[in-house]
Amino acid sequence: MRNWDDRVVALTGAGSGLGRALALEFARRGARLALADADEGALADTGERVAATCGHRPRATGLDVADRDAVRAWADETAARLGGVDVVINNAGVGLVAPFEETSLENFEWLMRSNFWGVVYCCRAFLPHLHRSSAAHLVNVASVFGLIGVPAMSTYCASKYAVMGFTEALRHEMRLSRANVRVTTVLPGGIRTGFAGSARKSASVDGDALTSVSARIALTSPERAAAVIAGRLGRGPRRLRVGPDAVLIDLGRRLLGAGVEPLAERVAKRLLPMGWDVHPEPARRNRPRTSPGLGGPESGGTVPR
């Protein structure tokens, strides 16, 4: 087990799922924790579990990562109270399952504020503190849905593709500027969390069926995912794939390129509990018949439109 003794780890989305499992895993490995989540009740429960695990209570802050000023205040207070920050894990996020044409722009913007801008705000707020650490590490949790587009997940995929590109570019900037900050993108596959139940859904999505399907295809427990992340981060990987499905999807995208897209469509049509055949076949457009040499609608000449 890698030793994280006395490292200060700031973690968002710590109230449930993978975030809670990460909090408990890093606590077992000796880290000092600053936890944040928008759900203060769930966050308090995580704090109790951490205290029971390691004997000391973490700093816990109710936080909406979409609030730029609140994120900045949390970062500054964490560094001041704990004497600095060594590791930042941007894990907070929300879900939305809906075809694009059924997604309001308000819902699209809501998701992007949490899933993408929340990552940007945390990176901007914590980087000045990370530059002062001798063992700084910035970790952004994306998804395999940042590798492949999935029907009815266009908004979520857009946010995760954005996190992927942003994190890759930031990693290059840190290396070129000789900053002592490692940057890692985490790519979880299906994790057995409450994502399907908590995600917003359009009317065409059967929520109960979606939860059932998600439970069947999620291959990795949050505890296993957290152990993999905490265990491998010390190697400073550029990308960290979590779960056998994440490895398979990553390899499929690399080897098949666009050839993986028809497979994604077939799998989505089979697994996602909703009706896909919603658009009628377009009516065949009647075109003018042509006859040679007459120069009118029945000819091959030009007709004004």
Calculate mean pLDDT across residues 6-19: 97
* Bridge partners, residue 61, by sequence: 36
Choice among 19-33, 252-266, 277-291 with the minimum mean pLDDT: 277-291
- Statement: residue 108 has pLDDT above 70: yes
- Give the Cα separation of 1 and 98 in Å (integer): 41
CA-wise closest residue to 227 among 24, 87, 7, 90: 24
- Statement: residue 291 has pLDDT above 70: no
**CATH top-level class for 8-271?**
alpha beta
Calculate mean pLDDT across residues 40-59: 95
Q: Tens digit of pLDDT for each residue in 131-187?
A: 999 999 999 999 999 998 988 889 999 999 999 999 999 999 999 999 999 999 999
pLDDT at residue 293, rounded to an integer: 47
**Phi and psi at residue 109, to the nearest 5°:** -65, -40
Residue where the block lists tokens 């952004």: 140
pLDDT at residue 193, rounded to an integer: 86
DSSP-derived secondary structure letter, 65? T
What contacts 24+ positions apart, CB below 8 Å, involve 109-115? 111/155, 111/156, 111/159, 112/155, 112/158, 112/159, 112/162, 113/66, 114/64, 114/65, 114/66, 115/156, 115/159, 115/160, 115/162, 115/163
pLDDT at residue 289, rounded to an integer: 52
- Statement: residue 200 has pLDDT above 90: no
CA-wise closest residue to 60 among 12, 8, 125: 12
Choice among 29-33, 75-79, 162-166, 204-208 with the minimum mean pLDDT: 204-208
* Rg (alpha carbons) of the chain, rounded to whole number: 24
pLDDT at residue 186, rounded to an integer: 98
Return the domain boundaries, the chain.
8-271
- Statement: residue 259 has pLDDT above 80: no
Q: Are 274 and 206 in contact (CB under 8 A)?
A: yes
pLDDT at residue 281, rounded to an integer: 63
- Statement: residue 284 has pLDDT above 60: no
Choice among 106-110, 169-173, 256-260 with the minimum mean pLDDT: 256-260
Q: Where is pLDDT greater, at 272 or 275? A: 272
Spatial CB neighbours of 222, under 8 Å, sequence gap ≥ 6: 17, 18, 20, 21, 191, 192, 193
CA-wise closest residue to 74 among 89, 92, 62: 62
- Statement: residue 264 has pLDDT above 70: yes
Which tokens belong to 225?
């995912």
- Give the Cα separation of 30 and 81 in Å (integer): 18
Q: Parallel, antiparallel, or unpaired: how do β-strands 181-188 and 239-242 relate?
A: parallel
pLDDT band, residue 300 (cuts 50/70/90):
very low
Active site residues: 156
Confidence (pTM): 0.86
Calculate mean pLDDT across residues 91-98: 94
